[in-house]
Amino acid sequence: MNAYTKAGPGHRATGHGGSNEARNLHWLLSNLVDEVPGVHAVAVVSSDGLLLLASDPGLAAQRTGEQREGPRGSSADLATIVSGLGALTTGAARLMDAGGVKQTMVAMDEGSLFVMSISDGSLLGVHATPDCDMSVVAYHMALFVGRAGHVLTPELRSELRKSMERDQ
């Protein structure tokens, strides 16, 4: 097992396998969940709202001893929320003539949600604990975007979509 296919302790990225670029993105995503305290789940969503890559929130919950059941913890739900929030903030930025949206953060009583734009119009979404260090989460998201943005080609997006469809 090389560094690009290794997932951290108790964590697994869904939709894995394929090309070196796909394995690299899976490794980066797994590393984000495993290395950043408070992160529950991560999803990469295409510009048209399709889930490309996701952590397995069930395994992240096992790590922290949480009991998560049903669709509230699913990657598909996180992808839907990330896509919707991305569309909402993009529309707001257009109405305000404020340029592109770089990052959105929502603080809730029982959690935090971060959405960051990736260069191709895709979005990176992170669900974290309410007491996470927001600057640390944002920093690691920016690292992911910087490393992943240039490799998220149309070919790789297609490969990731097909891989996610096989896993479901």
- pLDDT the model gives residue 35: 93
- Least Cα distance to 35 among 11, 5, 16 occurs for 11
Distance CA 76, CA 12 (A): 16
Q: Which residues contact 129 (CB under 8 A, 6 or more apart)?
A: 38, 40, 111, 112
- pLDDT reported for residue 57: 57
Q: What is the pLDDT of residues 2-24, one digit of tens each?
A: 332 333 334 444 445 588 888 88
- Contact call for residues 123 and 86 (beta carbons, < 8 A): yes
> At what angle are helices 20-35 and 154-167 packed, to 10 degrees?
70
Phi first, then psi, for residue 150 (nearest 5°) are: -75, -20
Residue 95 — pLDDT band, cuts 50, 70, 90? Answer: very high
What phi and psi values does residue 101 have, to the nearest 5 degrees? -90, 125
- How large is the average pLDDT for residues 136-150? 92
| Confidence (pTM) | 0.80
